[in-house]
Structure 1
């Protein structure tokens, strides 16, 4: 599929407009320039709407849009559990985890681990996150983004990757998190509008112009199996979504790791004006997560009817874009690129934050704030350069890059969740127990993968989590360790939430119950 001149013009207008907005937001109001709080945490002044929009823009990228549409084509609505279960996870994070982080006034997740445990735990996890963000997340987003641009616009994937890297640098490197968060508002509006428009056109096409309701009815009648939320054991995709485990198993561990302890996600909430703004922003993001399956999964399901002979499920979303009229096609392409560059900008900003504040500042202390900001910018550039070089060698042989991400991070996710959960809510957890959970997570995962290859990935994550939990508890109880815990006592943290947050939580729970009861 090729873009017409009008589509290209719309896309160029979007790129220029975004750069102008980013530069205006990034202008320095202080003569001495930005300090670390300004650059890495947007001066701790983000309002709720910027937090919520930025959370979603950071989360939704090429692997979600193209990958989940492809899963919608192959599996159906069941893949939406990743989005809908994330909504309730966000509510739990906002009520019980975020108050602890904000009370401790941290910049990074490793910083909290240093306060709670010791430098060894902090450094171990900081190095792990840097490796994952550069060699897994950043490379995957660049690679899939380059392939998406090649599919839609006909531009070689390498040039597409270079464009994405340069574009994300152009609007985020100078302004830091503030530029990323506020431009994410435009990105999310474009993403939601373009996605809903594509879903409307898809359903209308399925019904031959009879409307979206008729189109949806046709889909449910012709493909009832594509609307099963809980897959049975005899389903060919059971290994990917193992039945009831989606509701009570390893998906919870993966969600808490991603939404609660993932630097490039939680950093937006850490930059809030106050706890109330942060919680309102998280509730806003939770509602947007409920909407995402309509935007990314539904077009994939519709593509089964409209394009039944696709050679690969991941071609579903690019193929559906052919339904868009000239001009609007450029807008939807801009929305796709918006999602990609927003994720890239978020990841590079978090890489620079962890490297600068948790590694470099400890090795080279007592430098000026301006110096650390410059180091942060340099580390972001280097990270993107590394990702550009290694993306094709690492991911070129994988049929599904999304699977590569899940497999690699899934080796460490259970241990990370155990370390944070016990560190926050069990006073007897110590650094030896934390390291036992971190090491055990990789060892147990590898053993299960080799000796029990038929175990679904999601179930493996759940079992490894239980083993890591046991390991951390046993090692902590068997070792006596004097350590200086500088964290705020949990009894000093208020978990009370405003009425608006409580109402939002109830609404989200009710909506989820209705959705699962309807499509069970």
Structure 2
């Protein structure tokens, strides 16, 4: 499960925000730990009891084929425009920094490797997942170790602990989890709503309604699956050590005059270069292994997304349009889809402004255009038997349109009146925007209310015969899981108390 989640998006993508805004970006990891517990307790039993193993299967069974088709289109757009482009961009930064090759050439190489792996079959990726992650984590730990030692040397001291303490001292503003509305990074991580608002939608949608992830969580039985997620939650608590702290250390080193040229892209400071720059400092052998593992993980991530795109288009769209298509024809269409998807991503990636926003934030914000509606559709589909297909369509299509409206609303309306209550802040141009995490929360609430009204009007209070079977006994947990879950919650409480 963790192997499916760790890639360039984590190491390069989160070190960049670590450099820019500090430990606060670790909320994506630490809140994921809490989210995994929720998914283990409430989502997995529903999947297993109702024998749901794919997302299209759930949508068609719970709603209808139209909802499944609309969602297939949304997933295709999301995977191509957001996921493939950002992985190509972040991966190319790493390869360029270490190899010295042109960034567009690096994108092309990664894209070609991904096409080769996808068309050649995905088995090799599955076999190497754990090996890749082992060397990625090893390289991450070594990078953190070297970065803190360098910080210590800058101030005439030595040792990792001294380096960490000096990093906290010299970058004290980078060790706060909750931003005040006056903070320049408030639009990215808007204060308390990180804990009680839209961040839950980000994580629950990713960990609970994502086929790429949930298929890896479904163990042989419920207890096995839950224990797997509990273990993943503990790993998530540790992830900031290797994906966030190196970025903060790089910030301190940069403030001391190091890496001035290396951190520039087209003459401007690019925080996403922090991790690749530090990776260059590893001893030659370990640097080679870490670089190979990172490159393999990037290609595997691209290939995994490309394979999902191929499957979705071939089975959920093309086969419905042409139900008589032969197996040979479906394979051919799938291969063409892979070529087109990666080619489109390679062409549009340089024009998406990923370098200005930062790769990780780009993924989160633009995934947020569809995730509130998707999550509303899933959560009501799980737990409320009266939810109808038309209500689900409202959430998916209406949720996307509402997200677009809220995104561009500042161009037409002065939103400064929301600043006093923390729901808007000025961007770099002085225009007041709604933080995208808050925007997701608003859209989710509107979708839920709209789905409730539509379902009540359609069924006049009756249950939908397509409602899932649920009973309270499904949510009982073992004593061992409960103890482990309480320990995770306790550690999270301590971490947020220390770094508030």
Unpaired runs of 5+ in structure 2?
Answer: 264-268, 416-431
SS at match of 1:100: helix
Give how far 1:406 is off: 2.9
- In the alignment, structure 1 residue 333 sits paired with structure 2 residue 320: no
Give how far 1:159 is off: 2.8
- Seen in structure 2, the aligned counterparts of structure 1 residues 282 and 173 have a Cα distance that, compared at 3 Å, is farther
CA distance in 2, matches of 1:101, 1:369: 29
Give how far 1:513 is off: 1.2
Q: Deviations over 1:299-333 (max 9, x none)?
A: 11111222224432222212222321222222222
Aligned residues of 2:271 and 2:358 also touching (Cα < 8 A)? no
Please provide the CA RMSD for this pair: 2.7
Give how far 1:469 is off: 0.9
Write the mapping of 1:290-369 to structure 2, written as runs, cut at 5 A.
290-308=237-255, 309=260, 310=263, 311-365=269-323
- In the alignment, structure 1 residue 491 sits paired with structure 2 residue 497: no
**Counterpart in the other structure of 1:236:** 184
Aligned residues of 2:381 and 2:467 also touching (Cα < 8 A)? no
- In the alignment, structure 1 residue 226 sits paired with structure 2 residue 184: no
Could you tell me which of 248, 255, 262 is aligned with 2:210? Answer: 262
Write the mapping of 1:65-84 to structure 2, written as runs, cut at 5 A.
65-84=11-30
Give how far 1:297 is off: 0.7
Q: Deviations over 1:95-132 (max 9, x none)?
A: 21122223333443122111111111111111110111
**Counterpart in the other structure of 2:427:** none
Aligned residues of 2:114 and 2:302 also touching (Cα < 8 A)? yes
- In the alignment, structure 1 residue 91 sits paired with structure 2 residue 40: no
Could you tell me which of 441, 447, 461 is aligned with 1:468? Answer: 447
Could you tell me which of 139, 145, 148 is aligned with 2:91? Answer: 145
TM-score, reference length from structure 1: 0.82
CA distance in 2, matches of 1:170, 1:140: 20
**Counterpart in the other structure of 2:492:** 512
* Paired positions, count: 464
**Counterpart in the other structure of 1:155:** 101
Write the mapping of 1:107-256 to structure 2, written as runs, cut at 5 A.
107-176=53-122, 179-208=124-153, 210-256=158-204
- Seen in structure 2, the aligned counterparts of structure 1 residues 399 and 516 have a Cα distance that, compared at 3 Å, is closer
CA distance in 2, matches of 1:275, 1:302: 41
SS at match of 1:238: coil
Mean Cα displacement is larger for which, 315-324 or 57-66?
57-66
Give how far 1:375 is off: 5.3
- Seen in structure 2, the aligned counterparts of structure 1 residues 375 and 312 have a Cα distance that, compared at 3 Å, is closer
Give how far 1:365 is off: 4.1
- Seen in structure 2, the aligned counterparts of structure 1 residues 483 and 510 have a Cα distance that, compared at 3 Å, is closer
Could you tell me which of 369, 377, 391 is aligned with 2:349? Answer: 391
Aligned residues of 2:151 and 2:249 also touching (Cα < 8 A)? yes
**Counterpart in the other structure of 2:422:** none
- Seen in structure 2, the aligned counterparts of structure 1 residues 58 and 163 have a Cα distance that, compared at 3 Å, is farther
Give how far 1:485 is off: 4.6
Mean Cα displacement is larger for which, 476-485 or 336-345?
476-485
- In the alignment, structure 1 residue 447 sits paired with structure 2 residue 405: yes
Give how far 1:399 is off: 4.7
CA distance in 1, matches of 2:23, 2:111: 32
CA distance in 1, matches of 2:296, 2:141: 15
CA distance in 2, matches of 1:504, 1:172: 38
Give how far 1:174 is off: 4.1
Q: Deviations over 1:189-234 (max 9, x none)?
A: 1111110111011112212262211111111222221111111222
- Seen in structure 2, the aligned counterparts of structure 1 residues 486 and 181 have a Cα distance that, compared at 3 Å, is farther
CA distance in 2, matches of 1:94, 1:87: 11
CA distance in 2, matches of 1:485, 1:493: 22
